[in-house]
């Protein structure tokens, strides 16, 4: 394992984040804070608590997951897309660095940024609503697993995309609706029976449900199922990345 190469790429990617601190960290935190103001204060004050949890506190895990998924995909996809776009990816592929080391460095840096952002949002949310975390170890585990899984997905997206339009296609047209319809701002038990069944086909439901359970012990689906779905998605992404480097898909000129 070439730890020097991993460290070099990782440090470079982290440095890029701190050069664009306003866009990478400050902007998502401000956007999430606005959600708290609108949904937590303005709308939440008119909604009774859900299963003994105030509405403002109830949406904290959903808002964290909203930012986590979006930023994980964005960080990882842009991280690998720009070397492809500039043509420097070929220098990396010809260097004595294995694809495992490339993935660890790029995905590791993107996941680090996402986890940092999630923890900052968690701290910021405490300024707006009282928060309790009943299962902190599980909360960190879901946070890290989700960040790594979607950073891998973003890495795949960055390799697949051959233009900025495609790079934005999946996050905005597919992922964002799934997040909003996945129980970020409500419990799926509040939906009619038919829509509850339809919602269960949304994979984001399982991520948000498991994450919310780690906070308040409330879950729309079994925690075991949530964990299994997260691990399955992680396994699919890892297999896809392995196939991409094995075949050279979108990497070879």
Q: Give the domain ranges of the chain.
A: 3-247
Residues 173-196 have a mean pLDDT of 87
Residues 216-222 have a mean pLDDT of 91
Does residue 163 have a pLDDT over 60? yes
At 169 the pLDDT is 82
Of 37-51, 100-114, 211-225, the one with minimum mean pLDDT is 37-51
At 253 the pLDDT is 57
Residue-wise DSSP of 76-141:
HHHHHHHHHHHTTHHHHHHSS--HHHHHHHHHHHHHHHHHHHHHHHHHHHTTTS----S-HHHHHH
Summarize pLDDT for 6-59 with one digit per residue, the tens. Answer: 898 899 888 877 777 777 778 888 888 887 777 766 666 677 778 788 888 888
Does residue 209 have a pLDDT over 70? yes
Mean of per-residue pLDDT scores for the chain? 87
Q: Which of 252, 249, 245, 221 is nearest to 97 (CA)?
A: 245
Does residue 119 have a pLDDT over 70? yes
Rounded CA separation 224/196 (Å)? 19
Summarize pLDDT for 66-96 with one digit per residue, the tens. Answer: 889 988 998 899 889 988 888 788 888 888 8
At 29 the pLDDT is 84
């Amino acid at each position: 394992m070439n730890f020097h190469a991993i460290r070099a790429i990782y440090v470079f990617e982290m440095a890029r984040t701190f050069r664009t601190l306003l866009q990478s960290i400050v902007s998502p935190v401000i956007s999430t804070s606005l959600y708290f103001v609108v949904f937590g204060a303005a709308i939440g004050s008119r909604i009774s608590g859900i299963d003994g949890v105030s509405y403002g506190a109830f949406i904290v895990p959903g808002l964290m997951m909203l930012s986590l998924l979006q930023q994980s995909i964005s960080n990882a996809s842009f991280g690998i897309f720009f070397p492809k776009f500039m043509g420097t990816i070929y220098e990396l592929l010809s260097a004595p660095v294995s694809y495992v080391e490339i993935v660890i460095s790029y995905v590791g840096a993107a996941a680090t940024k996402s986890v940092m952002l999630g923890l900052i949002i968690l701290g910021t949310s405490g300024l707006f609503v009282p928060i309790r975390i009943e299962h902190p170890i599980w909360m960190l585990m879901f946070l890290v697993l989700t960040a790594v899984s979607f950073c891998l997905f973003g890495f795949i997206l960055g390799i697949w995309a051959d233009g900025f339009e495609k790079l934005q296609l999946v996050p905005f047209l597919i992922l964002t609706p799934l997040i909003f319809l996945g129980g970020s701002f409500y419990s799926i038990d509040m939906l009619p029976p038919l829509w509850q069944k339809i919602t269960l086909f949304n994979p984001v439901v399982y991520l948000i449900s498991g994450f919310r359970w780690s906070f308040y012990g409330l879950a729309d689906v079994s925690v075991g199922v949530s964990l299994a779905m997260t691990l399955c998605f992680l396994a699919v992404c890892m297999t896809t990345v392995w196939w991409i480097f094995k075949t050279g898909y979108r990497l070879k000129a």
